[in-house]
């Protein structure tokens, strides 16, 4: 199963400035676990680089991700073009 999601990161912007980027990565994982009904999520390094491009404090407001689910219940997420 393959889907494209636009994940809002507004909850990660509401936390302390020094922990925004790590919180955004956790938000992406939790979003995919919830919406894809997955057991495990593997985040591609390109997503991590996109979140961290402007540093730990200035994360993007949303990110578009392409998620692919295996038969084992593992979701692999890559940055959507």
The predicted pLDDT at position 10 comes to 95
Domain span at 48: 2-79
Total domains in the fold of the chain: 1
CB-CB neighbours of 33 under 10 Å: 14
* pLDDT (tens digit per residue) in 49-66: 999 999 999 999 999 999
The whole-number average pLDDT for the span 6-24 is 96
Position 43 pLDDT exceeds 90: yes
Q: State how far the Cα of 14 lies from the Cα of 76, in Å rounded to an integer.
A: 27
Query: 3-state class of 47 per DSSP?
Result: helix
Burial, 68: exposed, middle or buried (Cβ in 10 Å; 0-12, 13-18, 19+)?
middle
CATH code, 31: 3.10.440.10
Position 74 pLDDT exceeds 90: yes
Quote the pTM value: 0.93
pLDDT band at 81 (very low <50, low <70, confident <90, very high): confident
Structure tokens at 61: 């407001």
């Amino acid at each position: 199963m393959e889907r494209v999601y636009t994940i809002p990161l507004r909850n990660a912007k509401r936390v302390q400035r020094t922990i925004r980027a790590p919180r955004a990565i956790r938000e992406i994982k939790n979003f995919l676990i919830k919406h894809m009904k997955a057991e495990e999520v593997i985040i591609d390094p390109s997503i991590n680089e996109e979140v961290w491009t402007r540093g730990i404090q200035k994360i993007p407001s949303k990110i578009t991700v392409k998620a692919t689910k295996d038969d084992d219940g593992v979701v692999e997420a890559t940055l959507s073009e």
